[in-house]
Chain A
Amino acid sequence: LAKTTQPISMDSYEGQEVNITCSHNNIATNDYITWYQQFPSQGPRFIIQGYKTKVTNEVASLFIPADRKSSTLSLPRVSLSDTAVYYCLVGGGDTDKLIFGTGTRLQVFP
């Protein structure tokens, strides 16, 4: 399973765009990239998933360069309620188990 590396923490202010970058140098050909959000004492919540290029949904955008060795989660106009831990996961190829890292703790200030 490809290991992922992401910043431990980030700070932002309400209304700003937040970009969280994740490195996954050893991503396999059949791996997908998935981002989850987790609030304290709650289950991880799916945000977005992609394989290559750009994916956008009502919550976020995911940018994946051609070499797929990294990805960037973009949260437009964050609010206080976006304060959470964000996990980048790579997998879906040979195994379906999810390997969580420590994630990025995003703190949004008013």
Chain B
Amino acid sequence: EPEVTQTPSHQVTQMGQEVILRCVPISNHLYFYWYRQILGQKVEFLVSFYNNEISEKSEIFDDQFSVERPDGSNFTLKIRSTKLEDSAMYFCATSGLAEQETQYFGPGTRLLVL
């Protein structure tokens, strides 16, 4: 069964540092998403991405965040200057072309900002 993969599985960084989280979508999927889940809290939508541009973003997705698909396969989330409150699990999800297509989630990257 095709899977979404994410790297790294864990990342520890110092406050103010930049981090890049990577996702490899399921091969024929064209819609990409990032979500985050702070420990003990709900899964929160960050951003959706289609056709090389952002489709929708939440209030959380401020100027410190950016997404891109640099090589046509990987889908990345960059946090420019991390804050303590960015510590969370970050999940990538992908879906296919059909309007009601299901979003398939990756295993997540656990980010810890010290």
Contacts and interface: CB of A to CB of B under 8 A. Distances in A.
Q: Is the interface of B mostly helix, strand, loop or mixed?
A: strand
B56 to A, nearest CB: 6
Interface residues of B, number: 26
B102 A100 contact: no
Interface string A1-43: 0000000000000000000000000000000101010100111
Q: Is the interface of A mostly helix, strand, loop or mixed?
A: loop
A26 B108 CA distance: 31
Nearest to B102: A46
Nearest to B99: A92
Nearest to B91: A43
A9 B107 CA distance: 24
A14 B91 CA distance: 30
Contact of A44 (B31, B99, B105, B110): B105
Interface residues of A, number: 22
A58 interface: no
Contacts of A99: 45
A36 B91 CA distance: 14
A41 B100 CA distance: 27
Contact of A97 (B33, B89, B99, B104): B33
- Nearest 10 pairs between A and B by C-beta? A43-B105, A100-B43, A97-B45, A92-B100, A43-B91, A44-B105, A100-B42, A32-B100, A46-B102, A43-B108
Interface of B: 4, 31, 33, 35, 42-45, 48, 55-56, 58, 89, 91, 93, 95, 99-100, 102-108, 110
